[in-house]
């Protein structure tokens, strides 16, 4: 909402200057009035008692109050009702107790003094605003007023037929009483005079006709116009190549670039004072929306644009847009956030528009502020696209042409179809190079971007313990503890494990996750995130010969027979770590048995160990639970021999499925019986008979440590990373994933090409998204890595590929969208640097509080960073003044 002043006069509207008391009455923003009266009388009006009025929708149902309908309807109607229930002497300094927008009705002499006070304050702040500028910004507006009989209500009607179209549109925005309460404090006595005159006439002349109206001509004064005038005048000394002039904020805009008009460094933003420090109510898990909106609503160029007359640029016929409704809703919300009244704004209307055009944001679930930001920027662009009819453009390959020529061609084609304030301010261009790994075909394209999504490189390490098993039976299993990047990939794990176990060139590792004594998955995809592996998981790695890769893989899982004491009942129970090897000979019962026995060699006990076990008091039934007798030992052996009549060995082999849930068929040990239909993998259950566990070290076979045991390792502090390292990770060359294959026009096939990105053009507002959230088939994860980002001096000269005819590549931070907590929950806030107060503020939904120290804005919660381009001569202007206007903190120069 613009700061406004309304002049109510019953006669001529031609007055050009305010005398001490010329009978005119002004309606001004209440806070603007109070600021000028801080050193005056307590009542703020020279002892005059104020009367409070509440504005509300009025008239017949045909009178629409919404801004969209106001513009196209013939009349704007609302009521002014006396509100005796609230305090009569104005709101408190911080606006507590009064919601919505508040204005004060004051006589011309007091208005003159207030205007002069603000002029003096602006002079002290080195602003070019003057009182004469204010007097020159008055335009007429005709009102029709009817006093409702036997009430304290005035019905006000503003008709399009009585006023110029632009003036009527402004009135619709001023009196948008449907979205929030509008209150008017009358310190002039003018409303009492209207009531007295009307009731005297009613008493004298009898009942009035229903259509009798009082005509009042208002003189409307918009403070935002003076702000635009000051910004425009301060740009005269800047050398800017102007391609088009727009009416909003006096900004000099060029296609895809904005002139050297640093809104914050110009000093004009200080005229906002404490404006813009308004919170947003949380409607129920809408903190993500509030955070993104506050960052956008404090983007200087967008503030200028939406506080000006942006309605002429709305494109209601764009099929890719939202009929202009999203832009109107956002513009109105931004105006409320920059209104003099600092009461928290309820963004219900904007939320409804958002849910209508983006159903994914409907309801009251928590969402991602960056996803909302991406939709909002794209939606605002399409609603405000100046291109009414998009021409057809053909994309051409580079074909060896100079990059500058190809980039300009791509950019011109883009601007031919996309031209809006969002493109002017937020869009840049990067170079994308793809190289085919087969034919070496090189493809170069230049694509626009609205923001940069930067990965967080893996600087922190993670300790992992993995046990390696041999597939030839030559060595016992060994556990290795390795360090891998905490947010790395499985290929990082494989590389570290290969080094730790001295893997030979002719060997490979097959890593599997073990759960419930069976393999539940293989870690075969090198691009899988290590974060998918939990500390409590157990991994086994099997050494295999590369030359045997074409042979079938045999997976042995173990079961043992358990007989219950004093019972003939028995059961089979899985135990141990599965053993894996490749079968390089014909598959039959004999070769499978021999392969298994070879794998068990490292687990064999020595003959002395077996003898000691047989003669000890330990009951071998710990594994077999065999019911023993008092007879000699050779009697037990004889019994085992009798049981073994149906098998040739101590083991029985069964073919099973991958999940080992059923024994499909028993494997005959006859060498002449081959296994037909053998696929790439064969799953075998080995049933250990009663005496078999005596010969093998079962504890060793059962031993498989967890990935990480916190009690065994001391936790190391997390290492911070720099924003520049994130940018380098984003720009480095890397192969495309299997799901992002590129179609090579030379090979006529999809290839896993190598991709390299380079920054080509940088926008005025650079939005950087830190990719803290990762998603997979199994889990969602948030990276809590601390990213150290520059505040006053983000220098990108070393990262830009096209350095000629470019403005400064130096940026300054002005807003941050923060996320606290974990995936699927947590809380969003925003940090915003307010130029008027020259300090950082914490926007936490409806609460807005200053931050005492600039360094506190750096945390692992930083999610989306907002930077604005600064000129070389302005790069040190903010950092050398103070630490955000903190009077008790002094910076000593070196």
Q: Which two tokens stand for residue 425?
A: 């301010």
Count the helices and strands in the chain (H runs, E runs): 21, 40
Q: Where are the alpha helices (DSSP H) in 340-489?
A: 348-357, 369-383, 403-417, 421-426
Q: What 3-state DSSP class applies to 133? A: helix
The span from the CA of 165 to the CA of 544, in Å, is 82
Neighbours of 42 (CB within 10 A): 9
DSSP 269: G
DSSP 640: H
User: Among 850, 857, 730, 731, which residue's Cα sits nearest to residue 792?
Assistant: 857
The span from the CA of 214 to the CA of 220, in Å, is 18
The span from the CA of 591 to the CA of 582, in Å, is 11
Check if the beta carbon of residue 742 is closer than 8 Å to that of residue 437.
Answer: no
Lay out the sheet containing 754-761: strands in order across. 442-449, 428-435, 754-761, 734-735
Which long-range contacts (C-beta less than 8 Å, at least 24 apart) are formed by 192-196? Answer: 192/51, 194/145, 194/147, 194/154, 195/147, 195/152, 195/154
User: Among 546, 565, 683, 701, which residue's Cα sits nearest to residue 627?
Assistant: 565
Annotated catalytic residue, options 202, 501, 754, 827 = 827
User: Which residues, 6 or more positions from 841, have their beta carbon under 8 angstroms from its beta carbon?
Assistant: 277, 831, 832, 833, 834, 848, 849, 850, 851
The span from the CA of 659 to the CA of 518, in Å, is 8
Type and span of the H or E element at 812: strand 810-820
Q: Which two tokens stand for residue 112?
A: 């003159």
Tokens 């309605």 -> residue: 311
Residue 221's DSSP bridge partners are: 5, 138
Q: Is 769 a catalytic site residue?
A: no
User: Among 228, 277, 226, which residue's Cα sits nearest to residue 94?
Assistant: 277
Q: Is 276 left (phi over 0), alpha (psi -120 to 50) or beta?
A: left
Check if the beta carbon of residue 510 is closer than 8 Å to that of residue 540.
Answer: no
Type and span of the H or E element at 176: none
User: Among 293, 292, 319, which residue's Cα sits nearest to residue 306?
Assistant: 293
Rg (CA), the chain: 39
Annotated catalytic residue, options 287, 295, 660, 687 = 287
Q: Is 287 a catalytic site residue?
A: yes
Check if the beta carbon of residue 491 is closer than 8 Å to that of residue 485.
Answer: no
Tell me the pairing of strands 182-186 and 101-107.
Answer: parallel
Q: Which two tokens stand for residue 758?
A: 């380079």
User: Among 480, 489, 472, 420, which residue's Cα sits nearest to residue 450?
Assistant: 420
Tokens 């509008």 -> residue: 182
**Enzyme catalytic residues:** 287, 827
């Amino acid at each position: 909402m613009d700061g406004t002043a309304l002049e109510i006069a019953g006669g001529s509207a031609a007055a050009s200057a305010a005398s001490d008391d010329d009978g005119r009455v002004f309606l001004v923003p209440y806070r603007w009035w109070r600021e000028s009266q801080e050193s005056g009388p307590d009542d703020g009006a020279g002892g005059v008692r104020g009367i409070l009025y509440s504005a509300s929708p009025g008239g017949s149902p045909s009178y629409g109050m919404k801004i969209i309908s106001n513009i196209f309807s013939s009349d704007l109607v609302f009521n002014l009702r006396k509100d005796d229930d609230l305090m009569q002497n104005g709101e408190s300094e911080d606006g507590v107790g009064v919601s919505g927008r508040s204005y004060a009705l004051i006589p011309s002499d007091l208005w003159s003094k207030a205007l002069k006070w603000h002029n003096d304050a602006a002079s002290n702040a080195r602003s070019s605003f003057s009182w004469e500028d204010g007097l020159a910004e008055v335009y007429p507006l005709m009102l029709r007023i009817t006093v409702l009989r036997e009430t304290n209500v005035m019905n006000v009607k503003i008709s399009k037929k009585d006023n110029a179209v632009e003036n009527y549109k402004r009135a619709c925005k001023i009196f948008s009483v449907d979205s929030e309460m509008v209150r008017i404090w009358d310190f002039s006595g003018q409303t009492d005079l209207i009531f007295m005159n009307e009731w005297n006439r009613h008493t004298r002349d009898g009942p009035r006709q229903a259509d009798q109206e009082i005509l009042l001509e208002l003189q409307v004064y918009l403070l935002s116009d003076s702000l635009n005038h000051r910004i425009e005048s301060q740009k005269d000394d800047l050398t800017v190549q102007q391609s088009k002039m727009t009416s909003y904020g006096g900004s000099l805009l060029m296609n895809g670039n904005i002139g050297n008009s640093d809104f914050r460094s110009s000093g004009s933003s200080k005229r906002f004072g404490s404006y813009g420090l308004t919170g947003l109510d949380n409607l129920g898990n809408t903190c993500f929306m509030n955070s993104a909106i506050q960052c956008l609503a404090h983007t200087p160029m967008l503030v200028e644009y939406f506080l000006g007359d942006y309605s002429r640029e709305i494109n209601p016929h764009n099929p890719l847009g939202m009929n202009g409704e999203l832009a109107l809703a956002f513009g109105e919300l931004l105006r409320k956030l920059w209104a003099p009244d600092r009461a928290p704004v309820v963004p219900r209307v904007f939320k409804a528009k958002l849910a209508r055009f983006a159903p994914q944001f409907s309801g009251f679930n928590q969402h991602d502020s960056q996803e909302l930001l991406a939709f909002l920027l794209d939606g605002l662009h399409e609603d405000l696209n100046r291109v009414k009819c998009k021409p057809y453009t053909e994309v051409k390959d580079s074909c060896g042409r100079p990059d500058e020529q190809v980039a300009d061609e791509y950019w011109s084609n883009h601007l031919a179809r996309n031209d809006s304030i969002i493109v002017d301010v937020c869009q840049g261009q990067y170079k994308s190079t793809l190289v085919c790994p087969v034919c070496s075909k090189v493809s170069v394209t230049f694509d626009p971007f609205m923001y940069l999504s930067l990965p967080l490189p893996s600087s922190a390490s993670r300790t992992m313990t993995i046990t390696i098993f041999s597939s030839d039976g030559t060595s016992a299993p060994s556990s290795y503890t390795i360090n891998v990047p905490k947010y790395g990939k499985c290929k990082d794990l494989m590389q570290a494990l290969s080094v730790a176990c001295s893997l030979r060139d002719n060997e490979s590792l097959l890593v599997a996750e073990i759960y419930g004594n069976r393999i539940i998955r293989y870690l075969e995809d090198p691009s899988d995130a290590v974060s998918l592996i939990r500390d409590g998981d157990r991994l086994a790695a099997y050494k295999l010969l590369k030359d045997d890769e074409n042979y079938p893989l045999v997976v042995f899982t173990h079961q043992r027979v358990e007989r219950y004491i004093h019972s003939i009942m028995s059961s089979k129970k899985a135990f141990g770590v599965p053993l894996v090897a490749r079968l390089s000979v014909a598959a039959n019962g004999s070769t499978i048995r021999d392969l298994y026995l070879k794998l068990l060699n490292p687990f064999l006990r020595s003959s002395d160990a077996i003898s000691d076990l047989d003669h000890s008091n330990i009951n071998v039934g710990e594994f077999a639970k065999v019911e023993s007798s008092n007879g000699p030992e050779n009697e037990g052996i004889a019994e085992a021999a009798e049981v073994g009549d149906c098998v040739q060995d101590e083991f029985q082999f069964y073919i099973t499925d991958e999940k080992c849930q059923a024994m499909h068929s028993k494997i005959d040990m006859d060498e002449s019986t081959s296994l037909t239909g053998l696929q790439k993998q064969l799953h075998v259950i080995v049933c250990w008979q009663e005496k078999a566990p005596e010969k093998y070290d079962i504890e060793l076979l059962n031993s498989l440590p967890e990935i990480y045991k916190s009690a065994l390792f001391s936790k190391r502090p997390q290492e911070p990373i720099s924003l520049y390292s994130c940018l380098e990770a984003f720009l480095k060359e890397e192969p495309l994933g299997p799901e992002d294959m590129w179609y090579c026009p030379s090979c006529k096939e999809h290839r896993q090409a190598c991709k390299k990105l380079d920054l080509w053009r940088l926008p005025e507002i650079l939005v950087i998204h830190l990719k803290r959230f990762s998603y997979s088939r199994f889990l969602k994860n948030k990276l809590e890595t601390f990213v150290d980002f520059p505040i006053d001096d983000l220098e990108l000269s070393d990262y830009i590929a096209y350095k000629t005819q470019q403005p400064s590549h130096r940026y300054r931070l002005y807003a941050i969208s923060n996320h606290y907590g974990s995936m699927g929950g947590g809380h969003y806030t925003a940090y915003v640097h307010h130029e008027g107060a020259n300090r950082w503020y914490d926007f936490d939904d409806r609460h807005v509080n200053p931050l005492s120290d600039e360094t506190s804005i750096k945390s692992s919660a930083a999610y989306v960073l907002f930077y604005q381009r600064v000129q070389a001569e302005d790069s040190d202007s903010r950092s050398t003044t103070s630490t955000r206007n903190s009077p008790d903190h002094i910076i000593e120069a070196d």
